[in-house]
Amino acid sequence: MVVDIDMLVPKTHLLRKIEKVMDYDWLYEKLEPYYCHDNCPHPRIDRQKKEA
């Protein structure tokens, strides 16, 4: 079962507006060591690459 966040969160939702102006690169760098890089049952979803 695939869940599409874009379908669940309205286009006018406050969090979408915040996401457009925030830079989360620093957060991705801090969390990188905690991502599973191999042997994971589910691949992580890289939000930035998905939108690019």
Q: Specify the number of domains making up the chain.
A: 1
In Å, the largest CA–CA distance within the chain is 38
In a domain, 17, yes or no: yes
Is residue 43 assigned to a domain? no
How far, CA to CA in Å, does 21 sit from each of 2, 12, 15, 27, 51?
Answer: 27, 14, 10, 15, 15
Which residues constitute the domain of residue 24?
A: 1-38
Q: Over range 3-7, report the average pLDDT.
A: 83
Q: How far apart are CA 45 and CA 1, in angstroms?
A: 15
9 falls within a domain: yes
Domain presence at residue 34: yes
Write out pLDDT tens, residues 37-47: 776 776 666 66
pTM for this prediction? 0.44
Q: pLDDT tens for residues 18-31?
A: 988 999 889 888 98
Residue 7 domain-assigned? yes
